[in-house]
A and B are shown apart, each in its own frame.
Chain A
């Protein structure tokens, strides 16, 4: 029995302080434990770190997403977590990534400058959609580059 696939999209503010190197070390730690944990429960997705913000897409069974998200919520390395979308999904956007990092394909461009502007329900839904698209495109670019 396969359970219904869900997708969760959120963004949050980085609370890691220090030099860019120190931040990057910490982000790598996050990625390592994400990949390790997500692989075990068949959760996939991507993480981006851009202009002081994290944005993350997580895909998997609802219970697994809820449990993973609860752990992420307790993490002091970020805060002001805003959930943009939590919906059923027909297929995975990041089927081969237990937790991909698309941070390096975008350089210093500020991808989500409008984040936090609109707060209405519709604005959030659109933003969730937007974040998901941007990250998937970056993921595809990343994979082609690696190939």
Chain B
């Protein structure tokens, strides 16, 4: 602290000894401050009353040009001077495009002003804000931008007279293209989609890519719902027209859901949700189409969601069970086995029919778990039966496509020790339609384990000879509609006869399903079926009743023989 203590002269310089030491120091300090201020890069000035400039540095002149204060700056300073804090600051844009940050501090008789040019920083912020709202791939707005614009629109809407619409758009089959042709083709396709989208909306409309292959448009202005309907129709047509990209011919479809503002929602969340519900409906209705939101969609979706929650819980809580319907072979009248049928005893809903929940189970994929559970349960229960009868289980197309079927069967057979020859899988013809070669390979492997495979519901689908020939089925199950149908319908009789003859020729058992009366039994016997299943024999039985049932039948057979 040399300077602070220098009131006591410590140097022997004669001149300095003659001078008043305090004054010399103050002058020196002032000169130093002035040099420092002048060489500072930050603009600094002291403004006296009436906006007179008492002092300004070089940087100040550079920033504001020499001469008097500009009217805009004067206005700024006056409003800062009116502030209550000793230190005030503001950011202000000048006519020349620059943005400056100005700070003031009250001095006893003036205002200390300092200022800097923050244009660059402001521009960078704006750019990063823009970036944060842009989808880098398509250069459309992103979800954040879309949300903000939708929120703005809804906040400033006069519900009495303004209307608008949100169109939610989803591409069908995009994923397949991305997977088979690669991301670069997929990306180029998304850019083309974006460009087609932009080519049909109006300037004031907002287009965004919300993610993946999801796009959305806010359509403002124009009479609704007609404008939205016209745009949706055009989008379905235009986006669904084929694309040629990098030499590839690409075909995708577009589905569109529309929610109207203000009728279909009070805020952006609700509008978007409802546009998505409408989109979901248009996909359910076969895709390549558009749907307007309706209140019933919400209810149906909620009902579906409830069912989904209940169904997932059913799996965990063991609310599913199997019942078993016996099958007999006509030549000996002996029970040969049972078909395992799924039941869901829901504590809330009561007994739910498979037709009510299987479509949903398929859609959300839990059908694979349900199928696995069915195979495991059926095998486990069948092992406990006193007689080595067969047990058959339905297998869905989704289960086959999931490719877990074979390992599951292997594991369950190993676990339960069930003789593989007692397990029978029932598949429908439609299973063979998809991915033919892969499916056949898998069925062959299953067969080579010793497991039997039967063709279920034959007669209802394509009923093609090709599918019977493509795989050596053990059994053809003739759909109950032919057995229960009008006994005088020559068509029904002919079909059952033809299938029975086919089975005989191919060495397959033919089981008539749905035999409920003696009349029907006589008929299917006459038609040449080998096996039957139906209420005439017995309805589906709870597992604990199986032994009693068999016992009773044996007793009756003995009595009849005696």
Known: A62-B247, A83-B249. A70 touches B192 (CB 8 A): yes
Residues of chain B at the chain A interface (Cβ within 8 Å)? 192, 195-196, 199, 234, 237-238, 241-247, 249
User: Cα distance A69–B242 when bound, in Å?
Assistant: 10
**What distance in Å separates the Cβ of B553 from its nearest Cβ neighbour in chain A?**
55
Among A65, A66, A76, residue most surrounded by chain B Cβ atoms (within 10 Å):
A66
Q: For the complex, what is the distance from the CA of A88 to the CA of B134, rounded to whole Å?
A: 38
Contact in complex: A83, B199 (CB < 8 Å): no
Instruction: Give the 10 A-B CB pairs with smallest separation, nearest first.
Output: A73-B241, A66-B244, A69-B244, A83-B249, A74-B199, A81-B241, A62-B247, A83-B242, A86-B249, A86-B244
Does A79 reach chain B (CB closer than 8 Å)?
Answer: yes
A66 to B238, CA, bound (A): 16
- Which A residues lie within 8 Å of B244 (CB)? 8, 65-66, 69-70, 83, 86
Name A79's contact: one of B237, B245, B249 (CB within 8 Å). B237
| B245: nearest chain-A partner, CB-CB | A66
CB distance from A15 to the nearest CB of B (A): 10
- Chain A residues 42 to 72 lying within 8 A of chain B, measured CB to CB, are 62, 65-66, 69-70
B243 touches A70 (CB 8 A): yes
- Complex A-B: 16 CB contacts under 8 Å: A8-B244, A65-B244, A69-B244, A70-B195, A73-B242, A73-B243, A74-B199, A74-B238, A76-B234, A79-B237, A79-B241, A81-B242, A83-B242, A83-B244, A86-B244, A86-B249
Cα–Cα distance between A62 and B244 once the two chains are bound (Å)? 10
- Chain A interface, number of residues (Cβ within 8 angstroms): 13
Residue of B at shortest CB range from A12?
A: B241
How many inter-chain residue pairs (CB < 8 Å) link A and B? 30
Q: Chain A residues in contact with chain B, CB under 8 A? A: 8, 62, 65-66, 69-70, 73-74, 76, 79, 81, 83, 86
For A70, list chain B residues within 8 Å (CB).
192, 195, 243-244
Which chain B residue lies CB-closest to A62? B247
Known A-B contacts: A70-B243, A83-B242, A83-B249. Give 10 more (CB < 8 A). A66-B245, A69-B244, A70-B244, A73-B243, A74-B196, A74-B199, A76-B234, A81-B242, A83-B244, A86-B249
A122 to nearest B CB, angstroms? 15
Of all chain A residues, the one with the shortest Cβ separation from B238 is: A74
**Nearest B-chain residue to A10, judged by Cβ:** B242
Complex Cα distance, B246 from A62, in Å, reads 8
Q: How far is the CA of A106 from the CA of B498 in the complex (A)?
A: 54
- A74 vs B481: C-alpha distance in the bound complex, in angstroms? 50
> A115 CB to closest chain B CB, in angstroms?
16
In whole Å, how far is B309's beta carbon from the nearest beta carbon of chain A? 43
User: How far is the CB of A1 from the nearest CB of chain B, in Å?
Assistant: 18
For B237, the chain A residues whose CB sits under 8 A away are 79
**CB-defined contacts of A83 to chain B, threshold 8 Å:** 242, 244, 249
Contact A86 B247 (CB under 8 A): yes
Contacts of B249 in A (CB 8 A): 83, 86
Q: How far is the CA of A86 from the CA of B247 in the complex (A)?
A: 8
Which residues on the B side are within 8 Å of A62 (C-beta)? 247
Q: Which residues of A contact B247 (CB under 8 A)?
A: 62, 86
- Report the nearest B residue to A82, measured CB to CB: B242
A70 to B237, CA, bound (A): 14
- Greatest chain A CB density within 10 A among B241, B243, B246 is at B241
Instruction: Tell me the bound Cα distance from A76 to B199 in angstroms.
Output: 12
Query: In the assembled complex, how far is the CB of residue A90 from the closest CB belonging to chain B, in whole angstroms?
Result: 17
> A73 to chain B: which residues have CB within 8 Å?
238, 241-243
Alpha-carbon gap, A117 to B246, bound state (A): 28
The complex places the Cα of A146 from the Cα of B192 at a distance, in Å, of 41
Closest Cβ–Cβ distance, residue A10 to chain B (whole Å): 9
B305 to chain A minimum Cβ distance, whole angstroms, is: 38
**From residue A116, how far is it (CB to closest CB) to chain B in Å?**
15
> What chain B residues lie within 8 Å of A66 (beta carbons)?
244-246
Give the Cβ gap from B248 to chain A, nearest Cβ, in Å.
9
Question: What's the minimum C-beta distance from B249 to chain A, rounded to whole angstroms?
Answer: 6
Closest to A70 in B: B192
Bound together, the chains give a CA A69 to CA B199 distance in angstroms of 15
Complex CA distance for A86 and B248, rounded to whole angstroms: 9
CA distance A81 to B241 in the complex (A): 7
In the assembled complex, which residues on chain B have CB atoms less than 8 Å from the CB atom of A86?
244, 247, 249
Which of B192, B244, B245 lies at the interface centre, i.e. has the most chain A CB atoms within 10 A of its CB? Answer: B244
- Closest Cβ of chain A to B470, distance in Å, is 21
Give CA–CA (A8, B242) in the complex, Å.
13
Roughly how many angstroms separate A86 CA and B237 CA in the complex, as a whole number?
A: 22
Query: A8 vs B234: C-alpha distance in the bound complex, in angstroms?
Result: 25
Query: Which of chain A's residues has its CB closest to B234's CB?
Result: A76
Please give the distance in Å from B550's CB to the nearest CB on chain A: 55
Residues of A within 8 A of B245 (CB): 66
Q: Which residues of the partner chain A approach B241 to less than 8 Å between Cβ atoms? A: 73-74, 79, 81
* Nearest CB in chain B: distance from A60 CB, A: 13
Using CB atoms, name the residue of chain B closest to A88: B247
- Please indicate which of the listed interface residues B192, B234, B247 has the most CB atoms of chain A within 10 Å of its own CB: B247
CB-nearest residue of chain B to A65: B244
CB-CB < 8 A to A76: which residues of B? Answer: 234
Of all chain B residues, the one with the shortest Cβ separation from A85 is: B249
Roughly how many angstroms separate A83 CA and B234 CA in the complex, as a whole number? 20
Residues on the B chain within 8 Å of A74, using CB:
196, 199, 238, 241
How many Å lie between the Cα of A81 and that of B196 in the bound state?
Answer: 16
